[in-house]
Chain A
Amino acid sequence: DTGVSQDPRHKITKRGQNVTFRCDPISEHNRLYWYRQTLGQGPEFLTYFQNEAQLEKSRLLSDRFSAERPKGSFSTLEIQRTEQGDSAMYLCASSQGWAEETQYFGPGTRLLVL
């Protein structure tokens, strides 16, 4: 069990640029979640996948955000035309699904938009 991994761990970009983050879940986990965490706050749900299907998206996920999980394994989260307000820690988590709901979190990708 190698755990959930995320890449990159840190990203600094200029406003208006596009960024893409990758998450590799625990291999046998069907569900994959994305969260955003700002300083001093708890993680806020963005979206989740059951295998390759994106089943739910939060209102926090504006049109500039898109997530994919093309083969039901790793996932990518892209932010287009980044804004300073996008600066946050982006967390990925995975779980086995309905039978076991405990989510296991990756170390996160810290984004800073200048």
Chain B
Amino acid sequence: GDSVTQMEGPVTLSEEAFLTINCTYTATGYPSLFWYVQYPGEGLQLLLKATKADDKGSNKGFEATYRKETTSFHLEKGSVQVSDSAVYFCALSDDNYGQNFVFGPGTRLSVLP
């Protein structure tokens, strides 16, 4: 079945550092890819998405490019802020599975001032 793998956390960075959180996937169909973020005490929020190969999703300074050849969707941000501290989940949605999401285990990011 479909699966999503993320780099293990926690990731601890200083403010203004560059962020990369790796995400790779396995899917039988042509999935859409998503990054969700969960801030402390809050629900999951969509951060960005890409629906086909070579698409780039972006939001709030975060970017991720759908790479079909490497089955990856790595999340990047050029300069993180303390307010970016959260848990980040990579997910896919596959038509073959009724579009229910398959989530990765999440990567906790802590940004220190």
Contact = CB atoms under 8 A, between A and B. Distances in A.
A105 B45 contact: yes
A42 B49 contact: no
Given A105-B45, A108-B43, A40 B102 contact: no
B105 A103 contact: no
Nearest to A55: B98
Interface string A13-43: 0000000000000000001010100001111
Interface bin, chain B: 20 to 34
Nearest to A44: B103
A45 B101 contact: yes
Contacts of A106: 43
Interface residues of A, number: 24
A72 interface: no
A105 B44 contact: yes
Interface in B78-113: 89, 91, 93, 97-106
A41 B45 contact: no
A104 interface: yes
Contacts of A63: none
Contacts of B32: 101
A44 B89 CA distance: 12
A95 B44 CA distance: 14
A18 to B, nearest CB: 25
A41 B98 contact: no
B99 A42 contact: no
B44 A91 contact: yes
B106 A41 contact: yes
A84 interface: no
A74 interface: no
Nearest to A46: B100
Interface of B: 4, 32, 34, 36, 42-46, 49, 89, 91, 93, 97-106
Interface of A: 31, 33, 35, 40-45, 48, 55-56, 91, 93, 95, 98, 101-108
